[in-house]
């Protein structure tokens, strides 16, 4: 299964499985699953860390990107077709990072690992 991690899920994974359910931990550690994260998540971390909104995650975007490299997670760039798909999404909510993650999952036929109800309201596969 191709799993695209929402930003908060990646943070929880990198913080020693903080707040991850046992079922999600099992999916993330199952080598049969392919793990992905969008570069948009790194951008989100950089912004939130610079604003002091991530007190529980020290090291900011440098630590985040280092952690991505340490795990078997593929870092995805933002491709033009993802941006085109964002334009077609309904305006359920306006978070630009979530919208590009949703578009990526749609274009690449991935399931998003998230607890975010806003994301779950889109026509996209989600797991938790």
The crossing angle, in degrees rounded to 10, of helices 39-50 and 60-70 is 150
The per-residue pLDDT for range 99-121, each reduced to its tens digit, is 999 999 999 999 999 999 999 99
Q: With 90 as the cut, is the pLDDT of residue 16 above it?
A: no
Which residues span the domain enclosing 21? 2-127
Q: Which of 61, 98, 66 is nearest to 82 (CA)?
A: 98
CATH code of the domain in which 36 resides: 3.40.50.1010
Average pLDDT, the chain: 95
For the question of whether the overall pTM of this predicted structure is more than 0.85, the answer is yes
Give the mean pLDDT of 38-55. Answer: 95
- pLDDT band for position 55 (cuts 50, 70, 90): confident
pLDDT of residue 17: 77
Give the total number of structural domains in the chain: 1
């Amino acid at each position: 299964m191709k799993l695209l991690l929402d930003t908060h899920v990646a943070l929880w994974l990198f913080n020693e499985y903080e707040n991850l359910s046992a079922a999600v931990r099992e999916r993330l550690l199952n080598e049969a699953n392919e793990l992905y994260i969008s570069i948009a998540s790194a951008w989100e971390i950089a912004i939130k860390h610079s604003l002091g909104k991530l007190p529980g995650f020290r090291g900011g975007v440098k630590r985040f990107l280092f952690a991505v490299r340490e795990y078997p997670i593929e870092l995805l760039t933002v491709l033009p077709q993802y941006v085109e798909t964002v334009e077609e999404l309904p305006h359920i909510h306006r978070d630009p990072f979530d919208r590009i993650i949703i578009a990526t999952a749609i274009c690449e036929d991935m399931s998003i690992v998230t607890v975010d109800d806003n994301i779950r309201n889109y026509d996209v596969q989600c797991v938790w």
